[in-house]
Amino acid sequence: MINPLYAILAIPAFAVVVLAVIPGYRIGAVLNMLASGLTFMAGVSLLLVERYRTDILIIDDFNIYLVILTTFVAFTTSIFSASYISHELEVGRLTPTFLRFYHALYQAMIGAMNVALVANNVGLLWVGVEVATLSTVMMVGIYRTPEAVEAAWKYFILGSVGIALAFFGTILVYLVAQEVSGEGLPAMAWDLMVQNSSKFDPKLLSLAFVFLLVGYGTKVGLVPFHAWLPDAHAEGPTPISAVLSGLLLNVALYALLRFKMIMAANPNTINVGLVLVVFGLGSLVFAGFMLYRRRDIKRLFAYSSIEHMGIITFAFGMGGPLANFAGLLHMTMHSLTKSAIFFAVGHIAQVKGTQRLADIKGLSASHPVLAVGLALGVIAIAGLPPFGVFTSEFMLVSSSFARQPWLAVVLVFGLMVALGALILRLQGVLFGEPSGPSGEVKATYVPLFLHLALVLMAGLWLPEPVVRWFRAVAAQLG
């Protein structure tokens, strides 16, 4: 039997070529769904095969769950995307030629994210993140309006600088490792680095981490490196906003965590946990306040993504079994919830013909199903029970109170600020006199409610195998 590991890399690669040459956009959309679905199945079947490692690729407990999450959200987003783009074609915002690019780039992005996730070679990890960034840059600019071009340009420049600094960090890590492991490929293998980390030069390793933090931190959207993120989310097609928030930010954070694990195995390095705690809380509080000033619905949820990446970064910075568990759970819940919200927002913006919050009112009267979807999503992302986001935030808050009460106070403060902003905006959108066009929506509700159902389920009852699995990974993260 072929290892499904190769399938999750080969299917998107093959699909890029096919989708780039197929002219019909309907076939393109179907093939995009098919390829994403197959990749998802291959991702799930990774559970059936043994753990695997070479100097280039690795499958361990940590990345297997992210591969499944990534391919799942990529699959549901491709279903949403099919109904989204047919509307964009009707109103003439996109042309069939651009859709060919769009579908090919979508698969390129999924393939690149999978490469980054399963890479054992830290250089390959970097390549995966770079290619995923490039393909999203082009998709962000696909509408070619001045705003979209500006957003893409800004994303490009900030992303490239981040990527360049991360690369310098990678070179330094290699230099550290090659003193112990000798020259060549083994010196770039992540798992060997973790094993040998206690013998590494702590000063050079710490220096390397600073560059990696700034580099990959730009991609995570940590304040103050977040400037590209709201623009990229707001000006690109909504399916791209969904995968950017739900997946690409996770992948960048995953890269950072891999390096954190190398650092954690060496007692003489700088305190990485503290650095992550500071960046995490900073992002959380800053984004919480920024939520109040938003006038654009996609920008609002982009800032909410910054806020949640802050929470997750804080959780991993705290470390320990409970906080790491909360971080992993929150990563999953945020991916599912935020992409669900963008599915709803995409249809809302299409039917109302605007993204301005002031022009979207009375949704509960004009489009009740979308309104329910959005309301559930926002309630979930704001961290209210009974959804899974509440579970992870509660675990994080209670474990921080036990260890660092003052940090927990800041954390709760940030969460409350964000909660207030989200509920305030949600009210405006849902209630009041319906505004703007109230035509029928040709929407697929399946991905939206599937995600919400999963988040609800996680809030009520986490299956035993999943719990055991998260625990194992949390222990591995240290």
Contact residues for another protein (CB under 8 A)?
121, 123-124, 127, 130, 134, 141, 144, 147, 149-150, 152-154, 156-158, 160-161, 164-165, 167-168, 171-172, 174-176, 178-179, 183-185, 187-188, 201, 203-204, 207, 227, 230-231, 234, 290, 295-296, 299, 356, 358
Of residues 195 and 354, the one with the C-beta less far from another protein:
354
Of residues 215 and 377, the one with the C-beta less far from another protein:
215
Of residues 153 and 445, the one with the C-beta less far from another protein:
153
Tokens of 278: 């500071």
Of residues 204 and 450, the one with the C-beta less far from another protein:
204
The least CB distance from residue 414 to another protein, in Å, is: 18
- Between 61-90 and 446-460, two packed helices, what is the crossing angle to 10 degrees? 150
Of residues 84 and 211, the one with the C-beta less far from another protein:
211
Of residues 175 and 462, the one with the C-beta less far from another protein:
175
The least CB distance from residue 425 to another protein, in Å, is: 12
Of residues 164 and 472, the one with the C-beta less far from another protein:
164
Asked if omega into 96 is within 30° of 0 (cis), the reply is no
The least CB distance from residue 211 to another protein, in Å, is: 9
Q: Which of 36, 9, 153, 150 is nearest to 103 (CA)?
A: 36
The least CB distance from residue 155 to another protein, in Å, is: 11
Q: Which of 94, 109, 85, 110 is nearest to 28 (CA)?
A: 85
**Element holding 180 (H helix, E strand):** helix 146-181
Name the DSSP class of 52: E
Alpha-carbon span 245 to 336, nearest angstrom:
10
Count of H helices and E strands in the chain?
A: 20, 2
The least CB distance from residue 446 to another protein, in Å, is: 32
Of residues 27 and 358, the one with the C-beta less far from another protein:
358
Alpha-carbon span 452 to 376, nearest angstrom:
7
Question: Is the separation of the CB atoms in 61 and 22 below 8 Å?
Answer: no
The least CB distance from residue 183 to another protein, in Å, is: 3
394: Cα within 13 Å, side-chain hemisphere? 11
Alpha-carbon span 426 to 382, nearest angstrom:
11
Name the DSSP class of 356: B
Longest CA–CA separation in the chain, Å: 70
Residues with Cβ within 8 Å of residue 29, at least 6 apart in sequence: 78, 81, 82, 85, 86, 99, 103
Of residues 292 and 394, the one with the C-beta less far from another protein:
292
Segments in 182-293 forming alpha helices (H):
190-196, 202-220, 228-235, 238-243, 249-264, 272-290
Question: Is the separation of the CB atoms in 6 and 94 below 8 Å?
Answer: no
The least CB distance from residue 171 to another protein, in Å, is: 5
The least CB distance from residue 170 to another protein, in Å, is: 9
Amino acid identity at 193: M
The least CB distance from residue 302 to another protein, in Å, is: 11
